[in-house]
Chain A
Amino acid sequence: MLALRPPIAWLEVHSENYFAGEGLATLETLRHDYPVSCHCVGLSLGSADGLDPEHLRRVAALVARIEPSLVSDHLSWSTFGGVYLGELLPLPLTEEALGIVCRNVAHAQDALGRTLLLENPSTYGAFPHSTIPEWDFLAAVAARTGCGILCDVNNIWVSACNLGLDPLGWLNGLPGAAIGEIHLAGHALKPLADGRVVRLDDHGSPVRPEVWALYAEAIRRFGPKPTLIEWDTDVPDLDMLRGEALQAQAIADATLAERDASRHAERSDAVAA
């Protein structure tokens, strides 16, 4: 990146990898040429025992230094009792959890002095005591805290397939006005002993055709949104990554042109009537 400075609209980094040392020095250089999005994986906004103040302080210091365009984390938890588990773990979607997530998001937004985007995670199983669909849960957090939503289209596909739900219905449940960013990625299919197939969100391959199709639906519904290709295992060369980014742009352009044409036609029909 430092040597090539490719024509890319913006960059996103995992905040936790850029707190110090060479990574931070590189990011401080690149931020002069590209808008930066700081995507966190460790705020643990779903932790029942609250946020880690030391970690929040580190993220706040990075945000103050880099002045990113966007800051985001996930609807998940990863820290419990002072132990970091290194994984985005699922929450039972209950009224109690909603209150805790809203409190933690508000706390983080106060500490960072800005709004967050909250991302829908990939899920592999549901809690029997969940009472709120994830799209309603995210909409409620956005309404109560003022945060935005990072809509991961691949995660919707993965979660909906794993839980036996309709991906399009899931997408349509999200409040379009709150969407601040879209993620796309590849995922893997893993056959289970009982014959079922589980979809694993591994960010290690090209975006699947069914996810591209759902992305077009997202753009049709939400309008143009900053879109990121996530690819962080078996990372390919930059040309392959740029190819995925260009395909996202092409799909967004075609979808918006088609949407605008059909709206224009509807208006013409209305005038004619």
Chain B
Amino acid sequence: MPSLLETQQAIHDALSTAPADSAPGAAGLPAGAVSIHRNNMLHALTRALALGFPAVEGLVGTDFFEAMAISFVRQAHPRSAWLDAYGEDFPAFIATFAPAGGLPYLADLARLERAAAVAAMVDPHPALLPADLAGLDTNGAAALRFEAHPSLRLLQSPFPVDALQTATLAADEGTLQRLRLNEPVRLLIRGTLDGAAAEIIRLAEPAFRFTRLLMDGASLGCALQQVPEEADGGTLALLLAGPSFRRASAADAFPEEQPR
């Protein structure tokens, strides 16, 4: 008589390795039952991915998405029952999925959906707000460094994946047909202060570079020196209007940084 551990090992192996159309029994559980559980498992996990990547599914259709998702599930099962968090590696998988090779923007669209999903799941608090910086003089402000908020992501793509996402989710065929696919975008993705959603904001090249410098730990003064276009403070105000940073510290808490 197999132990419970041996029984579960055998069923785990039967569900995660064997193809769907061949269903041997496992640890005494009849083949028909194993087949039903395998189908239920694949359905649950592919539906979880579809919920996390609705624009990818909308663009390629349910059948193609399901085939792609099943291939992914077979090589990367979830590590926990929190399925909202499943799919971290799905965009990278899509980039290597040969049948999707004719859709070069698909992986970046998946990266955008993933970043937005994560942003909406992260607790927005604590977040650095404009009031936290009130009263700083120019020297004090220039010395500040920021700790990026875990909801904040930057995404650069040679394709307008934000417009592609919006039009796909709205099933807006007209816009999809008119969309110029050779339009690069630079995007900021973050949560909202009420913790219920994500926002996606297009940035100009200097704003994107400025934000990247701050996320990487450059002081405000250093970032402004490298991207003088941002001297008007517009991008900094945009960043402080949502959960972009957790907190700011005076530079003397860090080793002196030389502008590159």
Which A residues are within 8 Å of any B CB, using their own CB?
16-17, 19-22, 24-25, 41-44, 46-49, 52, 54-55, 58, 77-87, 89-92, 94, 96-97, 100, 123-129, 192, 198, 200
Contacts and interface: CB of A to CB of B under 8 A. Distances in A.
Given A86-B41, A87-B41, A124 B82 contact: no
B123 interface: yes
A16 B44 CA distance: 13
Contact of B84 (A17, A81, A94): A17
B59 to A, nearest CB: 23
B92 interface: no
Given A44-B81, A126-B30, A192-B32, 5 more contacts: A21-B195, A81-B9, A83-B16, A85-B77, A87-B15
B28 interface: yes
B28 A86 contact: no
A81 B77 CA distance: 11
B9, B36, B78, B84, most chain A CB atoms within 10 A: B36
Interface residues of B, number: 42
A90 B41 contact: no
Contact of A49 (B5, B34, B36): B5
A78, A82, A83, A96, most chain B CB atoms within 10 A: A83
A198 B82 contact: no
Contacts, number: 131
B227 interface: no
B2 interface: yes
Nearest to B38: A87
A54 B81 CA distance: 10
A69 B70 CA distance: 37
25 contacts: A16-B83, A19-B82, A20-B121, A20-B123, A42-B80, A42-B81, A44-B81, A47-B8, A49-B8, A52-B80, A52-B81, A79-B81, A81-B12, A83-B12, A83-B77, A83-B78, A85-B41, A85-B77, A86-B48, A87-B44, A92-B2, A124-B30, A126-B30, A129-B2, A200-B36
A241 to B, nearest CB: 20
B28 to A, nearest CB: 5
Interface in B89-132: 120-123
A96 B6 CA distance: 12
Contacts of B122: 20
B136 interface: no
B4 interface: yes
B121 A25 contact: no
A25 B195 CA distance: 8
Contact of A21 (B34, B80, B84): B84
